[in-house]
């Protein structure tokens, strides 16, 4: 079946950064299902899959603008260490949920000392060119309920 709006598509994928490091993969897990045309996945990947068929394999290189967006340096901020009360050990690379001007989202610790913590609220993949190796495992019609909700339901029906 061909991929178009309102199809549920299941893909196997491996995502690598420009240096070839694997960032994420479905290997060892079930294929990832998504509802095509509902912005469940990043725009560059969704548009590359449009019109493809079950069994197709493709490699897609996606610029940041069509991926997780460009980095915004105003989203890197230094905050007081006492904002992290109860956390004894803060190290670069750690992630926390924080309330930001863009709502509740994960922030990554860039640096920390006794008084201040530098946090980055950009998506970890913002500003990065992404390479996806994708295999299309299954394409099916979405149910009326899935279309209404804008996402995929599991094989046993409604699961949330």
- For Zn ion, give the closer residue by CB, 92 or 150: 150
DSSP tag of 7? E
Stretch that binds Zn ion, among 21-29, 54-62, 66-74, 143-151 (CB under 5 A): 143-151
Residue that the structure tokens 């694997």 belong to: 22
Stretch that binds Zn ion, among 38-46, 60-68, 127-135, 147-155 (CB under 5 A): 147-155
Task: Return the closest-CA partner of residue 30 out of 52, 49, 15, 10.
Answer: 10
Residue 146 Cβ, how far from Zn ion at the closest point, in Å?
7
**CA–CA dist 154, 1 (Å, integer):** 19
The tokens describing 50, both together, are 């449009």
- The site map against Zn ion for 18-57 (x = CB under 5 A) is ----------------------------------------
Q: Among residues 71, 118, 147, 149, which is the contact residue for Zn ion, using CB under 5 A?
A: 149
105 binds Zn ion (CB under 5 A): no
What does each C-alpha distance from 45 to 24, 33, 42, 49 come to in angstroms? 14, 13, 6, 6
- For Zn ion, give the closer residue by CB, 147 or 149: 149
- For Zn ion, give the closer residue by CB, 118 or 149: 149
Contacts 24+ apart (CB under 8 A), 106-111: 110/76
Where along the sequence are the contacts to Zn ion (CB under 5 A)? 149
């Amino acid at each position: 079946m061909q991929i178009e709006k309102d199809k549920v598509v299941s893909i196997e994928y491996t995502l690598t950064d420009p240096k070839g490091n694997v960032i994420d993969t479905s290997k060892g897990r079930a294929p990832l299902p998504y509802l095509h045309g509902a912005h469940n996945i990043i725009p560059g990947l969704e548009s590359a899959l449009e019109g493809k068929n079950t069994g197709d394999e493709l490699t897609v290189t996606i610029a940041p603008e069509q991926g997780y967006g460009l980095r915004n340096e105003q989203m890197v901020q230094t905050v007081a260490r006492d904002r992290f009360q109860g956390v004894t050990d803060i190290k670069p690379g750690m992630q926390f949920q924080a309330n930001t001007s863009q709502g509740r989202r994960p922030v990554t610790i860039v640096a920390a000392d006794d008084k201040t913590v530098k946090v980055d609220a950009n998506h970890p993949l913002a500003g990065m060119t992404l390479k996806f190796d994708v295999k299309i495992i299954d394409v099916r019609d979405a149910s009326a309920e899935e279309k209404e909700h804008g996402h995929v339901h599991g094989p046993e029906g409604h699961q949330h």
